[in-house]
Amino acid sequence: MWSERSRNLSRHCTEDLGEAPSKMKHLTCFLLWFFLSEAQGFEIPTNALPEFAEYGDLVELVPDKFQFVPENRRHQRSVSGESGETMEDVDQVTLYSYKVQSTVTSRMATTMIQSKVVNNSPQPQNVVFDVQIPKGAFISNFSMTVDGITFTGSIKEKTVGRALYSQARAKGKTTGLVRSRALDMENFKTEVNIPPGAKVQFELHYQEVKWRKLGSYEHRLHLQPGRLARHLEVDVWIIEPQGLKFLHVPDTSDGHFDGVPVISKGHQKAHVSFKPTVAQQRKCSNCSETAVDGELLVVYDVHREEKAGELEVFNGYFVHFFAPENMDPIPKNILFVIDVSGSMWGVKMKQTVEAMKTILDDLRTDDQFSVVDFNHNVRTWRNDLVSATKTQITDAKEYIEKIQPSGGTNINEALLRAIFILNEANNLGLLDPNSVSLIILVSDGDPTVGELKLSKIQKNVKQHIQDNISLFSLGIGFDVDYDFLKRLSNDNRGIAQRIYGNQDTSTQLKKFYNQVSTPLLQNVQFNYPHTSVTDVTQNSFHNYFGGSEIVVAGKFDPEKSEQLKSIITATSANTELVLETLAQMDDLEDFLSKDKHADPDFTRKLWAYLTINQLLAERSLAPTAAAKRKITKTILQMSLDHHVVTPLTAMVIENEAGDERMLADAPPQDHSCCSGALYYGSKIAPSSLPSWASPSPTPRTPMPAIGAPVVETSPPPHVMRVENDPHFIIYLPKSQKNICFNIDSEPGKILNLVSDPESGILVNGQLIGAKKPKNEKLSTYFGKLGFYFQHEDMKIEISTETITMSRGSHTSILSWSDTAQVLSQRVLVSVKREKTVMITLDKERSFFVLLHRVWKKHPINVDFLGIYIPSTNKFSPKAHGLIGQFMHEPKIRIFNERPGKDPEKPEASMEVKGQNLAVTRGLQKDYRTDTVFGTDVPCWFVHNSGKGFIDGHYKDYFVPQLYSFLKWP
């Protein structure tokens, strides 16, 4: 971070500022770089964060370990030390303190780096403040105090900033300007010459969004003080309302800092503290060099088991995080297009072959693939897609191993060949309609053969590629036009990523493939009520890959709606999916207000980050000059409003009087949204939901409504139902009577409710017991229900925790915390959060499941399920089961009503199935309209577990498995 220059250089630089004020004569040769290959700057407060307070729910853990990724830096010698330590005194420049404070609030990270330096030498000294910034971070502010003169940064439109800088330079009141196009680094660098005895303080603020990759978030802090610091403090606060699933700080420093980092972790927040003493900073006990030269890496993930999406609303903005799990992968059709031109010779080709061998081994059996390799010619391993069998994978690996790089680069023809293979397979019906088609291009250079014009190649690809194909581009090294690859991929439902050409190339290639190897959803669209939501970021995405996360943000007007609901539509493996998410607005506000480290402005910052980056990407793809000018105007205004350094703005750094200026000017570059993100989507207007996701007008198939707004449907007044422990209520429509009976059995037993082999419909229920007996009787309830639709090969298991849908080898899991609809073949499953599940087959037969939650600490009761089935003649004559047998109504006659032992419960005789039964008038509960107290339903109760009313004995209805049909004579 720090460097010194010779006394002659210092004198020469000082002489160049002869007209400057006396305090500024020594402020010379100031160099300020932005090595920013992506995007810069948001406005965040510049005051230092307060010390970390003890959280009430934090538990001190065993000190974790600390990761340092060493980097090549020139040799530095240190002179500073703690009181009582003997230090080598070389240049008399003391790094008094080096402080890093970083807070992550719901994926939005803000970081402050501050250093204080004292020149104890009798001569002026040059000092460099050189900070590495994570790729894609936004610099938001910078301040510097040199010998009492304070410089602060402000964002100006680029031409205005340059004009101010030029004015100051004309008067000799400025330092040098350097712009860099370096692509592999993102640095902020300043150099200042300070007189003897002077003090200088630098303070830089930046922010970034944490993108989820391969199941976790990584928060990296580059720690490079350059020398020993008297006081070195690093504090990281992670604050996630969803709750922290795990958090750790890996160690790759060979144990040098073992025991120094301290982790305190609670349910929703954590603190990582790293404060090594000077002795601990030394590379060795008698070394003057610092071992602090690398990265602090914090890895974590959040809880998302309860629901697929998290919708957070605060201060007029919303952020929607979407990362569903528990879904089967969608089959892939994947074309690998590999550059084998002469420039790939050596390490790059060796590493690419190594990566491809691993990638091919990771293909699933239901995937299809092929390989296209190209130099000045184009070859294909197979002219069409083949299944990823062991034999085919082995053959493909042998083909790749024999590749010898040579010749030129014909990117245009290679891509068109890959597109043709996928298009042809699709046109011939050889692709699974639910599969995902991907092209992965790996290249290290620009085209040298065939079509050379990049815009023409981009046009050719766009013209021929079908809209169900995503193109991902991996650019190896720096000879390739990375901006072109970004435009090419963004224009075709994919992203580009730079791969650094070194011994780590293979790992980088494999890591990227792993990110796209598990597609879980297609055609993911986010819908919000247009009456209260505006300025939504990209909300339509071609694919969702497991282990990642989609983020959508927008503005929300609470005066127009008290609540915010979102509707997500998507396609998973063989199912259509609709998910509804309701924002927990009051809970979030209460949570944030209780934590002084939480950033109350995280929703606005995250929205601005997404919006500006997406606009920059749209600008690079603008079809006309007029469209580009319009987007440019919007970007410029947002950049100024949100204090962001972009290719359209510059940071002017000046003293309080405004007569001393410096300029931080970002080099013009093409931005791709968003650095670190796996998705580049599009914007869609609010659209109507699919017809199957709307409430059905048919009264016999009620379902929880899911739409915007949600409309409740009225349940049919008369159904067959099972509630409580368990009480059966059979409605007989011809007689217009309700007949009731109880089943008293043992926990674990499975009862058949509906068994219709001819229609292929089965419903079974498994009993669970209360926590303990009451009045010497252990009550039993339905804790699990199984539905099997044989003709659709669809099984649905509903417990008090989850709803699991299986079709063939594919499985999807929803929780009761979701509001969702899933359509597979003719079966529609509708979940109403913490309330109901409706299963509808062909809009003709419906099954309604009601969730009963009890107080978790209740000494006796447990959660259980109720089931409601409307009477219908859609079942076959062979339908049976405790409920199914009554789909074909038996004749009954109730007569001889008389007072019973209980005056409020009269008795009568019932003639049914050739028998006369004694029945009692009573009340049972229907909980569909009142889930707490229920609605009274009068019925005639049949004693002895329904004996005489049901066929046979109730034990005849036991089945061995949840999906076993009833074997009835």
| Per-residue pLDDT, 695 | 38
737 and 940 Cβ atoms separated by less than 8 Å: yes
| Per-residue pLDDT, 697 | 34
Q: Three-state SS across 499-514?
A: ECCCCCHHHHHHHHHH
Identify the band that residue 3 occupies on the pLDDT scale cut at 50, 70 and 90.
Answer: very low
Structural tokens at position 503? 């011994």
* 773: Cα separation from own chain's centroid: 46
| Per-residue pLDDT, 355 | 94
Angstrom CA distances, 909 to 324, 731, 895, 912, 915, stand at 56, 18, 5, 10, 10
Predicted TM-score (pTM) of the model is 0.80
Q: Three-state SS across 238-277?
A: EECCCCEEEEECCCCCCCCCCCCCEEEECCCEEEEEECCC
| Per-residue pLDDT, 693 | 61
Instruction: Give yes or no for residue 84 having a pLDDT over 50.
Output: no
| Per-residue pLDDT, 88 | 44
Instruction: Give yes or no for residue 778 having a pLDDT over 70.
Output: yes
Mean pLDDT of 463-474: 94
Identify the band that residue 694 occupies on the pLDDT scale cut at 50, 70 and 90.
Answer: low
Name the more confident of 65 and 292. 292
Strand 378-380 relative to strand 386-387: parallel, antiparallel, unpaired?
A: unpaired
Bond preceding residue 284 cis, omega within 30 of 0:
no
- Closest among 146, 169, 165 to 154, alpha carbons compared: 165
Identify the band that residue 43 occupies on the pLDDT scale cut at 50, 70 and 90.
Answer: very low
Q: Report the first-to-last Cα separation within the chain, whole angstroms.
A: 86
Angstrom CA distances, 427 to 124, 423, 437, 489, 620, stand at 74, 6, 13, 23, 32
7: helix, strand or coil: helix
Q: Which residues contact 342 (CB under 8 A, 6 or more apart)?
A: 375, 405, 406, 407, 408
Helix H or strand E segment including 338: strand 332-339
Instruction: Give yes or no for residue 45 having a pLDDT over 80.
Output: no
108 and 207 Cβ atoms separated by less than 8 Å: yes
Instruction: Give yes or no for residue 582 having a pLDDT over 70.
Output: yes
Count other Cβ atoms within 10 Å, centred on residue 235. 19
Mean pLDDT of 477-484: 86
Name the more confident of 961 and 135. 961
Distance CA 786, CA 807 (A): 14
Stated length of the chain:
969
- Closest among 205, 38, 218, 40 to 131, alpha carbons compared: 205
Structural tokens at position 50? 């307060």
| Per-residue pLDDT, 51 | 31
Range from 64-78, 497-511, 573-587, 784-798 carrying the lowest mean pLDDT: 64-78
Instruction: Give yes or no for residue 481 having a pLDDT over 60.
Output: yes
What's the pLDDT tens digit per position in 701-739? Answer: 332 222 222 223 334 556 787 877 788 999 998 888 999
Range from 203-217, 254-268, 301-315, 419-433 carrying the lowest mean pLDDT: 301-315
| Per-residue pLDDT, 665 | 61
Q: Three-state SS across 591-605?
A: HHHCCCCCCCCHHHH
Identify the band that residue 698 occupies on the pLDDT scale cut at 50, 70 and 90.
Answer: very low
Identify the band that residue 790 occupies on the pLDDT scale cut at 50, 70 and 90.
Answer: very high
425: helix, strand or coil: helix
Name the more confident of 515 and 140. 515
DSSP structural state of residue 712: -
* 510: Cα separation from own chain's centroid: 20
Q: What is the mean pLDDT of the chain?
A: 82
Instruction: Give yes or no for residue 767 having a pLDDT over 90.
Output: yes
Of the chain, the percentage scoring pLDDT greater than 90 comes to: 53
What's the pLDDT tens digit per position in 264-284? Answer: 999 999 999 999 999 999 998
820 and 814 Cβ atoms separated by less than 8 Å: yes
| Per-residue pLDDT, 209 | 93
What's the pLDDT tens digit per position in 408-440? Answer: 999 999 999 999 999 999 999 999 988 999 999
Instruction: Give yes or no for residue 307 having a pLDDT over 80.
Output: no
Distance CA 691, CA 697 (A): 11
Angstrom CA distances, 234 to 95, 441, 464, 512, stand at 15, 41, 52, 31
Backbone angle region of 782, left / alpha / beta, with phi > 0 → left and psi within -120 to 50 → alpha? beta
Of the chain, the percentage scoring pLDDT greater than 70 comes to: 83
Name the more confident of 893 and 644. 893
Mean pLDDT of 763-782: 91
Instruction: Give yes or no for residue 218 having a pLDDT over 70.
Output: yes
Instruction: Give yes or no for residue 72 having a pLDDT over 70.
Output: no
746: helix, strand or coil: coil
- Closest among 862, 838, 861, 863 to 851, alpha carbons compared: 863
Identify the band that residue 172 occupies on the pLDDT scale cut at 50, 70 and 90.
Answer: low
| Per-residue pLDDT, 225 | 93
Maximum average pLDDT range among 146-155, 248-257, 434-443, 571-580: 434-443
Name the more confident of 82 and 557. 557
* 401 class by beta-carbon count within 10 Å (0-12 exposed, 13-18 middle, 19+ buried): exposed
